[in-house]
Amino acid sequence: MATHEALRRSPLFRTFGDREYDEVAALLVERVFPAGSEFSEASFLLIAAGRASLTVDGEPVRSLGPGDHIGAAAFVGLPRGARVTALTELRCLAMPWPVFRQLLDASPRVASELLTAMGAQSVPLSDTAENKRRELSARTRHRASGIASHLSTASDEAATALLPAFVVGTLGASPLALGLVEGLANAADGVARLGGGALSENPRRRPLISLVAFTLTTLLNGLVAIAATSPQVGVLRAGASGARGLRSPQRYAAVPERAGTGGYGKEFGRERAIHHLVSVAGPLLAFAILALADVRTALVATLVPGLLAVAIGTWVIRRTPPPSAAASPPPRLRVRAVFQGPLGRFMAGITLFELANFAAVLLILRTTKLLEQRDVPFGAAAMAVLLYLLWRLAASASTYRSGHQLDRHRPVDLMRAGVITLLISYAGFAFLPGTVLGLAVCFVLAGAAAGAVDVAEHVGVAQIAPEPLRWSAFGTLSAVRSFGRLTATIGATAVWTFLGAEFGLLFAAPLMLAALAVMVSRPSGRRRQTPAN
């Protein structure tokens, strides 16, 4: 029934009934175009899977995806000559000219509805010279959007690195208050990611979602600088995290499309490695300013890369042609389906782990408190931020290496190794003497473990989730990670406040051991590289 599902995605066939679907499906044949291939097509092609770019006279017209059609203009007398470039492996359902004539002769009703729909959908493929000059090529849009995303990430990471010093140091709040602030932020992030996965199924919404995310994340993080109490910080951080979370599922769900039938691990490893590497810019910015000024000034400085991201995002969205109306499904939250079958079993192990995976701000806070007892260059707060850079660098290297391994090994095997390494690093933060070298080793171990688990979770979901469920699956994964961090961070800081830092850092151990037991007893993550239909 994969052919019927592909037909239902196209606006040309949405009014058809089961009988008409059967008649059309019987006349279609599958054609596959490898990634990078270019072709001109006069017959009817309906894209079932993959992404492509449509150009006319060498100028980009629009991007194409599942549900879009190619060559239909020839049926209603519009100009031919458009060229299509397969951005990923392109799987299409084809109806050659002779077969189309058979359809017209055999079923006048089907022919009438099809031609009516095609006439309504068809638009001239050429545009005015002015509009062509204004539109950016697909490659330029991709690169500019990536730069904007990296700048926004750097801005947000700088604010995150400064948060412990601001809440506990400047405002004089307790570690529990810091945990509540970060927990509230993770809750907002989780809700937004869950909704962002459903909203982003429609390509028309994605550019606007990105621009809103860049703008609100930057401004709300910057406003933290004028906050006078920890509840005010909590509200602002929650808003910033929620805005950031709206866009997150877009980054993850697009990776399998780029990978095509290749290895998901390599593609996810590259994407997550770049993310962690770019994130280093945030703590570097925070460290540089903390060495020269106070925390509030440093928070204001985080606005600079964020505002650059907003400017670039605005430029891209103004020069991007509107996407095809073909793929415009209504928002759908399908959380229950994600927790069923093999995907559900894999998500159960992830959920147990994330319930114990507290935010890295607690490691920064622990480091700051330990270094306050020693004479260190630049001060304890600045040195703690500098050591946090090692976490990011280790995570970047780990995700890249782990991604390549995941094309040969099951995700769950890598997750087990990551969990064990993370527990070892937490024990180091709890019990080792607070030397700069010892803390540096602990940060490296924690970052490497977090990076391995991060990419294993995403690759596992990509391998197991059927393609129609993929957006909801990545939205749910993002939400589980955020809500898990909420409970873990609040729980750890509560234990920290009442029993001591050592017990707070080891709060994660029981749940992580439980997650490890589930991973050992239930094999999860199938080595399937091609999306299911």
User: Looking at residue 443, what is its pLDDT?
Assistant: 93
Structure tokens at 347: 């998500």
Q: Please report the pLDDT score of residue 198 as a whole number.
A: 65
Check: CB of residue 52 under 8 Å from CB of residue 327: no
In the prediction, which pLDDT does 445 show? Answer: 93
User: What amino acid occupies position 353?
Assistant: F
DSSP 323: P
For the full predicted model, state whether its pTM sits above 0.85.
no
Dist. CA 225–CA 294, nearest whole Å = 11
The values of phi and psi at residue 94, to 5°, are -110, 145
**φ, ψ for residue 322, nearest 5 deg:** -60, 140
Which helix (H) or strand (E) segment is 47 a member of?
A: strand 44-49
User: Dihedral of CA 246/250/253/255: which sign?
Assistant: negative
Query: Which residue has 């927990």 as its token pair?
Result: 183
Question: What are the helix and strand counts (H, E) for the chain?
Answer: 22, 8
pLDDT 10s digits, 196-251:
766 766 666 777 777 888 888 888 888 888 888 888 888 888 888 888 877 776 66
Neighbours of 315 (CB within 10 A): 13
84 alpha carbon, distance to own chain's centre: 27
The DSSP 8-state label assigned to residue 55 in this structure reads: E
- The rounded distance, in Å, linking the Cα atoms of 334 and 332 is 6
Which strands make up the sheet holding 90-95, listed edge to edge? 29-33, 90-95, 44-49, 69-70
Between CA 194 and CA 180 the distance in angstroms is 21
- H-state helical runs in 200-338: 206-223, 230-259, 264-279, 281-290, 295-301, 303-318, 335-338
pLDDT of residue 114: 59
Task: Give the pLDDT means over successive 10-residue stretches in the chain (533 positions).
Answer: 71 70 80 82 76 74 77 48 79 77 64 56 42 58 77 82 83 83 80 72 72 84 86 88 77 60 68 76 75 82 84 79 51 72 81 80 84 80 83 86 79 84 89 86 91 85 76 78 78 82 80 72 44 35
Q: Which helix (H) or strand (E) holds 74?
A: none
The identity of residue 118, as a single letter, is M
- The one-letter amino acid at 31: R
The torsion defined by the Cα of 95, 100, 102 and 103, in degrees rounded to 10, comes to 90
In this prediction, residue 22 carries a pLDDT of 79
The answer to whether the CB of 462 falls within 8 A of the CB of 410 is no
In whole angstroms, what is the distance from residue 462 CA to residue 472 CA?
11
Q: What is the SS3 assignment for 177-203?
A: HHHHHHHHHHHHHHHHHHHHHHHCCCH
Of 28, 182, 152, 176, the closest CA to residue 91 belongs to 28
Q: Are 305 and 151 in contact (CB under 8 A)?
A: yes
